[in-house]
Structure 1
Amino acid sequence: MKKLILFTAVILSALAAHSQILKPVTWSYAAKKTSATEATVFIKATIDDGWHLYSQTVKEGGPVKTTFTFPASSAYTLVGKTIEPKSISRYEETFSMNVNFFEKSAVFQQKIKLKGKNAVVKGTVEFMTCDDKQCLPPEQINFSVPVK
């Protein structure tokens, strides 16, 4: 009986070690003051080889588009919309439509107007990633970027 329990524990440990959670996109953040009252927040997605991250401009009926949400703040106001780099556009059979996406990396930029000397820009990014075999469920990541 002890051998059976030990054998089962070894098999379960091996299975747990073999299965891993896929996280093909990692996010990093920075901010740079462009004047005494303005700054740009940089939000960088680093994307694993073979995967892609969808643009903010995906049309209805396609994958979940990348969306940035910034709650109201007394320390700053947003200036315009979040800017994204040039995306790749391609027809995807899965969605039966052309979609815009990024591979390898993408740096998004959000300009802000400061109401004081310093601020902490908080927000959320919702995104979806796919490779040529699968799409992962959409994720939401909270972020916080100090502006000094």
Structure 2
Amino acid sequence: MKKLILVIAVLFAAGAHAQILTPVHWSYGFKKTSATEAVIFMKATMDDGWHVYSQTVKEGGPIKTSFTFPVSKQYTLIGKTIEPKPITKFEKSFSMNVSFFENSVIFQQKIKLKPGIAKTTVKGKLEYMTCNDQKCLPPEDLDFSVDIK
């Protein structure tokens, strides 16, 4: 009897694990633009049919993509995180126009290194939501870091 319960539990756990969808894949990088400045790149690559939302989604819509960076003694942020021009369409599920990205998108954040700092690690957190034509997945929070050299 114990073996039967164990087998059922293992099959249930394997089935639950197989159903986890991860249609958005994030990668990170940087480019130094001078000895004291750099741009951090946060790239989302979406599986076919999926999209992520812009940082400018209005209240009442889906969860917008957002980036937060903790205060650092080694660098300061220059302006806000920027994004390319999104696609804007009416989505029935939200009863409003929403802005989003398909296939891939690169968000950019400029930083300025503080005097005497040649390399550092930029840490951040992003929140995003992804949907396709049939469903939306719950919002996800991801921590990330980029080593600036």
Q: Give the structure 2 partner of residue 106 of structure 1.
A: 105
Secondary structure at 2:30 match in 1: strand
Distance 1:47 1:94 in 2: 20
1:16 aligns with 2:19: no
Which residue of structure 1 lines up, in the alignment, with residue 77 of structure 2? 78
Aligned: 1:135 with 2:136: yes
Aligned pairs for 1:29-40 within 5 A: 29-40=28-39
> Taking structure 1 as the reference length, what is the TM-score of the superposition?
0.90
Please state how far the C-alpha of 1:85 moved relative to its aligned partner. Answer: 1.3
Q: Report the 3-state secondary structure (helix = DSSP H, G, I; strand = E; otherwise coil) of the residue aligned with 1:13.
A: helix
**Which residue is equivalent to 1:122?**
123
| CA shift for structure 1 position 106 | 0.4
Alpha-carbon offset, residue 17 of structure 1: 4.1
Q: Structure 1 74/98 Cα, relative in aligned 2: closer, same or farther at 3 Å?
A: same
1:21, 1:66 → 2: CA distance? 21
Question: Aligned to 1:137, what secondary structure does the other structure show?
Answer: coil
Tell me the amino acid that sits aligned with residue 99 of structure 1: V
* Distance change (3 Å), C-alpha of 1:96 and 1:31: same
Instruction: Tell me, in whole angstroms, the C-alpha distance in 1 between the residues paired with 2:13 and 2:66.
Output: 35
Give distance in 2, aligned partners of 1:57 and 1:117.
33
Output the CA distance in 2 between the equivalents of 1:74 and 1:147: 14
Please list every run of at least 4 consecutive aligned residues from structure 1 whose deviation after the TM superposition is greater than 3 angstroms. none
Q: Which runs of 5+ in 2 are unaligned?
A: none
Tell me which amino acid in the other structure corresponds to 1:36.
A
Distance in 1, matches of 2:126 and 2:44, equals 10
TM-score normalised by length of structure 2: 0.90
* Count of residues in Structure 1 that have an aligned counterpart in Structure 2: 146
